[in-house]
């Protein structure tokens, strides 16, 4: 019996509390939160996405991404979520604290150059007053 415990300690040497979670707190997950933002928030429409934002009951800013079946099959929908998650990660430090934001990607955003989509995202955040810094970070360029 003790040999099993030693083997488990070797297989997973870190306690569970130190394991990073797959779901960071910067993303909305609960249906009630999405419904509250859609009901109470202010909507802005762009050519590439819609954004709804409202004050959050929490201190942190959280972002949710809603991709409907109209956008395409599962591969296309997941690509849309990945693109916008990356935009959120790149600009999260510049977002004002205490807001909940829901993003609804549109089909043209999937074919747009990342730099142009990033600029549209920043422009939208500034126009909504969701950026705390007028100088956002430059987008990360990968695979150059």
pLDDT tens for the chain, residues 1 to 144: 555 555 444 544 444 444 344 545 788 999 999 999 999 999 999 999 999 999 988 888 999 999 999 999 999 999 999 999 999 999 988 899 999 999 999 999 999 999 999 999 999 999 999 988 766 666 665 544
Measured CA to CA, the distance from residue 51 to residue 105 in angstroms comes to 9
SS3 for 42? strand
Nearest Cα neighbor of 88 from 123, 60, 64, 113 is: 64
Which CATH class, in words, describes the domain spanning 28-128?
Answer: alpha beta
pTM over 0.85: no
Measured CA to CA, the distance from residue 34 to residue 24 in angstroms comes to 17
Q: How many CB atoms lie within 10 A of CB 35?
A: 11
Partners of residue 103 on adjacent β-strands = 51, 65
């Amino acid at each position: 019996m003790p040999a099993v415990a030693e083997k488990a300690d070797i297989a997973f040497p870190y306690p569970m509390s130190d394991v990073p979670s797959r779901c960071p707190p910067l993303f909305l997950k609960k249906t009630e939160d999405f419904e509250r933002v859609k009901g109470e928030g202010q909507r802005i429409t762009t050519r590439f996405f819609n954004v709804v934002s409202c004050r959050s009951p929490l201190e942190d800013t959280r972002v949710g991404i809603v991709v409907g079946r109209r956008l395409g099959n599962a591969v296309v929908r997941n690509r849309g979520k990945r693109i916008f998650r990356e935009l959120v990660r790149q600009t999260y430090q510049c977002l004002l604290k205490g807001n909940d934001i829901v993003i609804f990607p549109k089909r043209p955003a999937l074919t747009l150059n990342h730099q142009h989509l990033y600029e549209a995202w920043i422009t939208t955040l500034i126009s909504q007053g969701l950026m705390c810094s007028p100088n956002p970070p430059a987008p990360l360029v990968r695979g150059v």
